[in-house]
Structure 1
Amino acid sequence: MVFRIMTGALLMAAFAVHAAPNPPYACSYWDKQTDSVKTLDECAVLKEGKLVFLPALFAKTHDVDGMSWVGLHGYTRGAGEQDADYYVRSAHEYLPVIHFENGPDWFVEGLVRSTQNGKVGYWDDSFRNHIAARYDYASQFDGGKALVCIGCKPQREGEHISLSGGEWYYIDKSGQRISEIKSGPF
């Protein structure tokens, strides 16, 4: 009987801990008062497995074209993922984008790169998927085309990472293959 009571108490305690709200995540953001990057200790929380950005962020952040940049690196690192930045429109409307050159990937020719399940694709500024996330590497668009790879693998060389192998080609803005590459450029 004592064993059952102790087991029940432990299960209830474990459930209470698991059900407790997650602590807020800190973020970097572009501050509208100082026009510089600042840190906000309580920026976002997880609710029902989804990120929710807190009102304090929107009071402080600089809004460009109806969205703000947010770097939630502690959250992504804690989840065992690579750094990701987010473009955020509201508490529940956001798009994770590739962390590129110390900040968020930027929109080029109307599209930005984002990842889903470890693959790269392209989204527009309304956060609609424009080209499905199916590439292991994808460059920004330039002159209406982007270099992509399926099956390439990262190779660490000291502090640098290069890509090797895979099938390389260019796509147009509709995602159609437009030219082949004999071997990867990296």
Structure 2
Amino acid sequence: MFEVFKYDNGPDYPESGLFRIIKNGKIGYANAKGRIIIEPNFECAYPFKGDFAKVSDNCETEKDGEHSTWKAENWYQITKDGKRFEK
């Protein structure tokens, strides 16, 4: 099983048919039926925008009051099948 990533005090919003999940402290993606589509392997992962999502394997969370942001030097894009997008 997995837990749904929390965003804006509630469950993550589905974007492009997928929503973020957490399992063993890592972030991945599941579809509307709850099927894991991309195994949780990322420390930071943004929602999909179209066919791509911005992810990182090594990042830090910085708190700013009630909000937080992710900081990383090695962001990259993945496709909906979990493969790294190379330009």
TM-score range, shorter chain: 0.7 to 0.9
Cα displacement string for residues 71-125 of structure 1 (whole angstroms, at most 9, x for unaligned residues): xxxxxxxxxxxxxxxxxxxxxxx86211112321122221111000110000112
Residue aligning to 2:44: 137
Which protein, 1 or 2, shows the higher relative CO under an 8 Å CA cutoff with sep ≥ 6? 2
CA RMSD across the alignment: 2.0
Aligned position for 2:5 = 98
Shift of 1:179: 4.2
1:87-166 pair list within 5 angstroms: 96-166=3-73
When Rg is computed on C-alpha atoms for both structures, the one with the higher figure is: 1
* Residues 158 and 127 of structure 1: CA distance in aligned 2, closer, same or farther (over 3 Å): closer
Cα separation, partners in 2 of 1:159 and 1:100, compared to 1, 3 Å: closer
The SS at the match of 1:108 is coil
Q: Matched residue of 1:178: which SS?
A: coil
Residues 95 and 156 of structure 1, relative CA distance in 2, 3 Å threshold: closer
What amino acid maps onto 2:59 in structure 1?
C
Q: How many residues align?
A: 87
* Residue 171 in structure 1 maps to residue 72 in structure 2: no
Query: Normalising by structure 1, what TM-score?
Result: 0.42
- Structure 1: state its 5+ residue gaps: 1-93, 181-186
Structure-to-structure mapping, 1:61-100, within 5 angstroms = 96-100=3-7
Contact 2:2 2:23 in 1 (8 A): no
Between structures 1 and 2, the one with greater strand share:
2
Q: Which runs of 5+ in 2 are unaligned?
A: none
Give the % identical residues.
Answer: 34
